[in-house]
Structure 1
Amino acid sequence: MTGTITKIAAVILLAGICSCRNSGPRTGSLSFPVADSVPAGEAEKLSEEALADIVQNIASPVEIASVLQSMQVPFSAGYLAPTREADRLSTNFQKAVMLGIYGADLGYLNIYEKTGNSVEVLSTIKRLADGLRVGQYFDFETLKRLSVSKSNLDSLLFLSVNSYNQIDRYLRDNDRGSISALMIAGVWIEGQYFATQVALNNRDEVLRDRIGEQKIILGDLLMLLRPYSTSSGEYQSLFSMLDQISRKYADVRVSYRLGEPETSEVDGRLIMVQHEESIVEMSDAQLAEIAEMSKEVRNKLISGI
């Protein structure tokens, strides 16, 4: 199976502003924690440039939602994490992971234009953001108004993106990069859950390719989380669970070949964009195991384990 790789510049962007892997200008600005928020022993291993490159290659759940839409897969509220779970979250670890998960859900709702359904998710995100002391960067009232009116989806997406960007910058500037890492993990696992659950009942080569590519992306995510994996039992458990998913990918083969280059004019300059195409080899049995483990990990995170 082959497919053109599309990666998003920022992990928690909830808008479909995607670009190709390592190719051309990017419009997002959300970055993973800078090096000085990583423990000293790991900072030398992961430079800021390396961290940025890894983040650029982690797919947005909106890309997955867009693929589902193109497959004409109906919207399903059953894929969403129950918002009632948020009321019993007690630790910053739990709140940060769920902030990412609900952020992915918000992106799914918005892509399917179920903006009227997003008010409860928005309220939950706001409560979690307040609990992490970053709620001041979340313009809840404006987002709620846009959701209820369904008048301007682009504005809703932009404000969602801007809120997460400001939250991330605040966390990094205040030596709370580990919280940002947890949000990234939450976004990824929820997008992975969407994709794998749909793929079990809908055979689509593009979707299977996106799932197969997550072998590489998950390796990057584990690299991002590794510096924090020994800081507490919760972080260690998260790292271990994601590593279990990674092990299910062991025999999935992903290779790349250069696609056709494109030229475009950006700010008066001619830019060449070099696309890559993925070649994914993944059996139905491998997909089923990946889907089952992804579901198990996602549900454990939602339950607070």
Structure 2
Amino acid sequence: MKRFVILFKVFAVSIIFFAVSCTSDEQKESSKKDTTKTEDDAELAENVSYQIPSPEELFIIIKQHKLPYKENLLNSTETSYTTTIAKEINLGIYVADLSYSSVFNMNQNTLKYFQAIYKLSENLGISSVVSGAFLDRLKNNLNNPDSMSFISNGSYYSIIQDLDNAGKGKTIAVVATGGWVEGLYILTNLVDKYSENNQTINKLASQKVIFNNLYSNLEKYSSDANVADVKKDMDEIKAIFDQLKAEKKDDGGSSKNKEGVIVLGNKEKFSFSEAQYNDLKLKIKEIRTKFIKQ
């Protein structure tokens, strides 16, 4: 059975936000309990060996660069999906929407998207992946944004870990693709105009490394006709990223540690031309529209 690892060290960043933002002893004690639980989930997820992206890192970039929260960019939770592939893709999309809401402490929306994730998981026959315990913890911590962030982050680790344990690598590949596409859709719609000095766009170019991992995983399961269709959509994105050439070495991006596990960072720096960025933005919008209307 193939083993998976969350590519981004989301919890390290989340813990920093948590330490800065706690304002009362009561909040600290409550959040400490949830932190312990979530760190345990993270440790489980990091003991595996195939790299997949988490949408959370993109949204931390959004917040760091002072981009806004726009609810109208989120996928509606009222849509009814009937096919398995549509449910898997939109499970990933809802995970991204949950992460975006969580990073901005939009707790009611965080709860709403977790409920949508729980419902889709039940429809897919994987409700044990997103346990009712997570949902109860979210409901009980609506007034504690720090705990909400930890719990919602933990749900993604739990989804990947449990799907992996169940041998559902194909589902992981599709869910991860849905989440990645939604993350880029939101990010590219928050940047109005291209500028070669725009830090958000420059960070986005580094997604080439992340995308290559995502695409390789889809290729492994492309004997399935539905996955092959998703991969075909991603072929257009690959064509854009393949145009990007490494410019120089720096300390950012992804690299392998001595155990051979990819960690945050890629020592190659990439950048978009205006035409490449606009092409990516257009293709992501087209693919995302197709995904949510399946």
Equivalent pair of 1:10/1:31 in contact (CA under 8 Å): yes
User: Which residue, 123, 145, 160 being the options, matches 1:168?
Assistant: 160
Equivalent pair of 2:209/2:266 in contact (CA under 8 Å): no
SS at match of 2:269: strand
Count of residues paired in the alignment: 251
Counterpart of 1:286 in structure 2 is 276
Supply the distance in 2 between the matched residues of 1:240 and 1:214 (Cα, whole angstroms): 19
Deviations 1:98-147 (A, max 9, x none): 1111111111101111112323212211101111222234221221332x
Q: Greater strand share, 1 or 2?
A: 1
Equivalent pair of 1:109/1:115 in contact (CA under 8 Å): yes
Counterpart of 1:295 in structure 2 is 285
Equivalent pair of 1:30/1:165 in contact (CA under 8 Å): yes
Counterpart of 1:79 in structure 2 is 73
Give matches, 1:3-14, under 5 Å.
10=6
Equivalent pair of 2:101/2:109 in contact (CA under 8 Å): yes
Equivalent pair of 2:99/2:110 in contact (CA under 8 Å): no
Equivalent pair of 1:11/1:30 in contact (CA under 8 Å): no
Equivalent pair of 1:259/1:274 in contact (CA under 8 Å): no
Equivalent pair of 1:16/1:62 in contact (CA under 8 Å): no
Counterpart of 1:158 in structure 2 is 150
Deviation at 1:216, TM superposition (A): 2.4
Deviations 1:245-266 (A, max 9, x none): 1112232223451439xxxxxx
Deviations 1:9-60 (A, max 9, x none): 6259875648xxxxxxxx554369xxxxxxxxxxxxxxx74x2xx33xx3x3
Deviation at 1:64, TM superposition (A): 2.0
How has the CA–CA distance of structure 1 residues 12 and 284 changed in structure 2, closer, same or farther, with 3 Å as cutoff?
A: same
SS at match of 2:246: strand
Equivalent pair of 1:213/1:254 in contact (CA under 8 Å): no
Give matches, 1:96-107, under 5 Å.
96-107=88-99
CA RMSD of aligned residues (A): 3.0
Equivalent pair of 2:251/2:265 in contact (CA under 8 Å): yes
Question: Do residues 64 (structure 1) and 54 (structure 2) align?
Answer: no
Equivalent pair of 1:12/1:164 in contact (CA under 8 Å): no
Supply the distance in 2 between the matched residues of 1:198 and 1:191 (Cα, whole angstroms): 11
Question: Do residues 112 (structure 1) and 112 (structure 2) align?
Answer: no
Question: Do residues 210 (structure 1) and 188 (structure 2) align?
Answer: no
Counterpart of 2:187 in structure 1 is 195
Equivalent pair of 2:44/2:161 in contact (CA under 8 Å): no
Supply the distance in 2 between the matched residues of 1:93 and 1:81 (Cα, whole angstroms): 16
**TM-score normalised by length of structure 1:** 0.72
Runs of 4+ displaced beyond 4 Å: 11-16, 273-278
Equivalent pair of 1:212/1:280 in contact (CA under 8 Å): yes
SS at match of 2:270: strand
